Chain A
């Protein structure tokens, strides 16, 4: 079996004096889709931010390809794509400019490829419109266009299905499955009822039951 990309051992996180999760251990293997599950406030976003390296308020161990993540920081950052609630789209820039700026520090791509990615998310007609004139769903699609051209093996996607229409959801589910089939690993949090064949689960929000 292949080596896990990301491995969490005994993760614990406390927020506002409330334990969100403790003793959480899991492995993210290449070729899998993992869904972080739990009710509102159970720490799904926090867990994803911890995995992405944005949140430092945790204890436990995180391994990237078998080595402590903090010692492999550059390799980890280069090979992980994180999309959060706020997708990093500048309202004043056009979708193309946004996409160019977001990929410039990781893997600069020719505009032709970027335009194709935008066309792939249904934004062909909006490439040169400032993003503030686009709808919420269209702005999400600009961020999702990154997924079409991403070469990062690990994707951490927080609430990606928000504000996306039915067709978009189907396309995105297909994309995640295709990604897993290609050997990538995807971790998602979503309130959307995501059912993918072979999906792994990380359940959160069971602490309260024990504590109260």
Chain B
């Protein structure tokens, strides 16, 4: 029996190495399909453009509403991209293999979510200053806006991963995903726009940013577990 035991392999791949492999594969796949990368960004730009066209191009209006518009647009484009997070992997069976990897699933999910943020959230943050100028935000507000997006968008990806995992087995998951996730996005949105508003009034924003960071840490610690459990449930029902 001991001889037989010895023939079993132990898991000799480090956690970080396994996470890196998942992360790099997602990046590689995304860069082979650039359309999926560009879509959320185009959506972001177009939603922001609609407000001056549809509501008012007045400088006073845009200066007041600009940060909120940018935040809502960023939130919606993250939401738009969420369906891809696990969908392709589910369809081609990669997800099954991911669940069956010997490493804890929540870490692999975290790696996937991080890749998702790098591919959608981070480009949004980088694009935000340009759009901020377009909606007449002062320089100080733009800096704070980017900072809030930088802290907020990872939280959006993490929370969204739970919804994406839960709605995986459903055929028309898009609407349900939005209904599930938007309520959870509201705190991030409120703190994000609140911080920019405070900055515009010249108030200190340290406390606001700390609260947002706390929210991010909370999402970082809890969301991967929830998403991993949701993935198991979705796969178990398929």
Give the interface of A toward B (CB within 8 A).
2-3, 30, 52-57, 65, 74-75, 77-80, 82, 84-93, 97, 101-102, 104-108, 130, 151-153, 183
Measured between alpha carbons, how far is A130 from B31 in the docked complex, in Å?
13
User: At the interface, yes or no: B22 with Cβ under 8 Å from chain A?
Assistant: yes
Give the contacts of B20-39 with A (CB-CB under 8 A): 21-22, 25, 28-29, 32-33
Measured between alpha carbons, how far is A34 from B191 in the docked complex, in Å?
58
Q: How far is the CB of B130 from chain A (nearest CB, A)?
A: 30
Q: Pick the contact of B96 from A65, A86, A92 — CB < 8 Å?
A: A86
A80: B residues at CB distance < 8 A: 100
Measured between alpha carbons, how far is A85 from B90 in the docked complex, in Å?
12
Q: Pick the contact of B97 from A2, A57, A102, A130 — CB < 8 Å?
A: A102
Q: How far is the CB of B15 from chain A (nearest CB, A)?
A: 10
Q: Pick the contact of B93 from A57, A87, A106 — CB < 8 Å?
A: A87
Q: Pick the contact of B33 from A57, A88, A92 — CB < 8 Å?
A: A92
B25: A residues at CB distance < 8 A: 90, 93, 97, 101
B22 A90 Cβ-Cβ under 8 A: no
User: How would residues 201 to 230 of chain B score, 1 for a CB under 8 Å from any chain A CB and 0 otherwise?
Assistant: 000000000000000000000000000000
Measured between alpha carbons, how far is A102 from B233 in the docked complex, in Å?
22
User: At the interface, yes or no: B91 with Cβ under 8 Å from chain A?
Assistant: yes
A30: B residues at CB distance < 8 A: 4
Pairs across A and B, CB under 8 Å, 21 listed: A2-B1, A56-B233, A57-B237, A65-B4, A74-B11, A75-B10, A75-B11, A78-B9, A78-B10, A80-B100, A86-B91, A86-B96, A88-B96, A92-B33, A101-B25, A105-B103, A106-B11, A107-B13, A152-B9, A153-B7, A153-B8
A54 B91 Cβ-Cβ under 8 A: no
A74: B residues at CB distance < 8 A: 11, 102
Number of residues on chain B facing chain A (CB within 8 A): 37
User: Looking across the interface, which residue of chain B has its beta carbon closest to that of A97?
Assistant: B28
B4: A residues at CB distance < 8 A: 2-3, 30, 65
A105 B21 Cβ-Cβ under 8 A: yes
> If the complex has contacts A78-B11, A90-B25, are A105 and B92 also in contact, measured as CB distance less than 8 A?
no
A151: B residues at CB distance < 8 A: 9
Q: Pick the contact of A77 from B17, B28, B88, B101 — CB < 8 Å?
A: B101
A104 B92 Cβ-Cβ under 8 A: no
User: Looking across the interface, which residue of chain A has its beta carbon closest to that of B24?
Assistant: A101
Chain A facing B: main interface SS:
loop
Measured between alpha carbons, how far is A74 from B13 in the docked complex, in Å?
12
User: At the interface, yes or no: B172 with Cβ under 8 Å from chain A?
Assistant: no
A65 B8 Cβ-Cβ under 8 A: yes
A56: B residues at CB distance < 8 A: 232-233, 236
Q: Pick the contact of A91 from B22, B92, B99 — CB < 8 Å?
A: B92
Given contacts A30-B4, A55-B236, A82-B97, 11 further A-B contacts (CB under 8 A): A3-B4, A54-B235, A65-B8, A75-B11, A77-B100, A79-B9, A91-B92, A92-B29, A93-B32, A97-B25, A152-B9
A108 B96 Cβ-Cβ under 8 A: no
6 closest Cβ pairs, A-B complex: A86-B93, A104-B21, A78-B102, A92-B32, A88-B97, A105-B101
User: Looking across the interface, which residue of chain A has its beta carbon closest to that of B95?
Assistant: A88
B92 A86 Cβ-Cβ under 8 A: yes
User: At the interface, yes or no: B171 with Cβ under 8 Å from chain A?
Assistant: no
B88: A residues at CB distance < 8 A: 90
Q: Pick the contact of A107 from B8, B9, B96, B97 — CB < 8 Å?
A: B9
Measured between alpha carbons, how far is A107 from B32 in the docked complex, in Å?
26
B1: A residues at CB distance < 8 A: 2-3
> If the complex has contacts A54-B236, A65-B8, are A104 and B13 also in contact, measured as CB distance less than 8 A?
yes
A54 B9 Cβ-Cβ under 8 A: no
Q: How far is the CB of A67 from chain B (nearest CB, A)?
A: 11
Measured between alpha carbons, how far is A152 from B102 in the docked complex, in Å?
12
Measured between alpha carbons, how far is A77 from B13 in the docked complex, in Å?
13
Measured between alpha carbons, how far is A30 from B5 in the docked complex, in Å?
12
